[in-house]
Amino acid sequence: MDLSQGTPVSIQLKTVVDQAGEKKNFYFDLEGQIVKIGDTLYIRYKEEQEEGEPVPVTIKVEPDGKIQLIRAGGLRMRLKFAYQERLETSYKTPYGLFQITTFTRNLRFSLKDQPVAGSILIDYDLYSQAEKIGEYHLELEFTT
C-alpha cells in the first residue's frame, strides 16, 4: 500500500495521566491519516477539546525508533521520546515559552502492512526544570 499520499485510519487513543497522586483516564475514538515520507511515518489527527477548536496532532515515528508528538494550536508542544532517554523540548503557551523534559520509561511501536495497522505505546515522566510534573501512559492503535 502506498502511504506517500496519506491513508485514512481509525485511531483509538488512551491516555493515563498521574499528577500529584491523582490519576485520570482519557479515551478517544478518532479519524486520522497515516503518511510515509521517506523512512519517516506520520500519524495525524485532531484532538477534540472540551472547549474551542480541535487541536491538530502529529505523531512522527523516525527510522531510528524515536517518536515525537507535535501539537499545534494555542499551546504548541513537541514532546520527544526515545527509550530510556531524557530529552528536552519546549512548550509554547500564550504566557511564553517553557522548557520541559521527557524521560521515556517504555517505548514500543509496531506496524503491519496488510491491512495497514499498528500501535504505539509510550510510558514517560514529564519534568519542568528539575520538578516532576507527572507520569503518563499513552496507547495509540490505528487501522485502515
Q: How many CB atoms lie within 10 A of CB 98?
A: 13
pLDDT of res. 2: 59
3 vs 141: CA distance, rounded Å? 17
Please list, in sequence order, all residues whose beta carbon lies within 8 angstroms of the beta carbon of residue 59, skipping any fewer than 6 positions away.
42, 43, 44, 67, 68, 69, 70, 120, 140
**Tens digits of per-residue pLDDT, 63-119?**
999 999 999 877 788 999 999 999 998 888 788 888 899 999 999 999 998 788 999
Model confidence at 49, pLDDT cuts 50, 70, 90, reads confident
Task: Dig out the grid coordinates for 31 from the structure.
Answer: 479519524
**Tens digits of per-residue pLDDT, 20-32?**
889 999 999 999 9
How many residues in the chain?
144
Q: Residue 103: which of 77, 76, 75, 131 has the closest Cα?
A: 131
What Cα–Cα distance (Å) separates residue 21 from each residue in 24, 101, 127? 10, 20, 15
6 vs 25: CA distance, rounded Å? 30
Amino acid at 143: T
